[in-house]
Amino acid sequence: MTDAQSELSDAVKALREKFGEEAAYLRIQSTAQDAPTSVRIDQLTLPDQSRSRMPFTQDKYIIKENPQLVQWEREARKFLRNLNLTTGHRISAVMIFEWATGLAVKDLVTAGEPPRGDLLKLNKILRFYFGKGYTTNILGKKVQNAYRVPQGWRVKRHRPMTMTLYGEFAEGVLNP
C-alpha cells in the first residue's frame, strides 16, 4: 500500500467516524424513545417490490365524461374488432349505429326521430381513430363522413379516446 492510499484510507476512516450512521445518533442527544410501530399495519402492507401500479392521479385524468360517448366508443371498438384484418375497409358512423342497434337510420329519419346525437358521437370517435372523414360511394350509395381503415389495423393496439376506457386500456382489461 502506498502512502497516498494509506492517507486516503485514513481520511475515509476519519470521515466515516465523524459522519457515519452511528455517529448521526450520537451527535444529537435525546431522551425521546423511538415511535412505536403498528403490528397491524406491518401485516396489512405489501412489500415495495410486490405492490401494484400507482393509480391515475394527474389532473388531466380528473374529468367528467359523457357516459353516452363512452358507451358508443365501446360499441365502435367492438365493431372495429370484428373487421377482417386481411383487407382495408371504408366505414361510417351509420354502419356502426345500424350494426349495434339493429335499427335502420333511414327508417328513423322517416319516422321523424333521426339519431343525430348518436351519429355525432360516433363520428367524433371515428375522427379520433382515423382522422378527417371524406365523402365516397359504398355499394353505389353516396356516404358522407366515411373513414378508411387500413389493412391489418387492430383496435386493441390503439388507445381509446375517452378517459374512462383509457383507464381500462392502461390496465390491460379493456375487452374490445
How confident is residue 52, by pLDDT bands cut at 50, 70 and 90? confident
What is the pLDDT at residue 175? 83
The region of weakest confidence among 13-27, 29-43, 107-121 is 13-27
Dihedral angle sign, alpha carbons of residues 115, 121, 123, 126: negative
What is the pLDDT at residue 152? 95
Judge whether 156 and 176 are in contact, CB under 8 Å: yes
| Most distant CA atoms of the chain, gap in Å | 100
Could you tell me which of 91, 89, 59, 58 has the C-alpha nearest to residue 75? 91
pLDDT exceeds 70 at position 9: yes
Judge whether 95 and 82 are in contact, CB under 8 Å: no
Say if pTM beats, i.e. exceeds, 0.85: no
End-to-end CA distance of the chain: 68
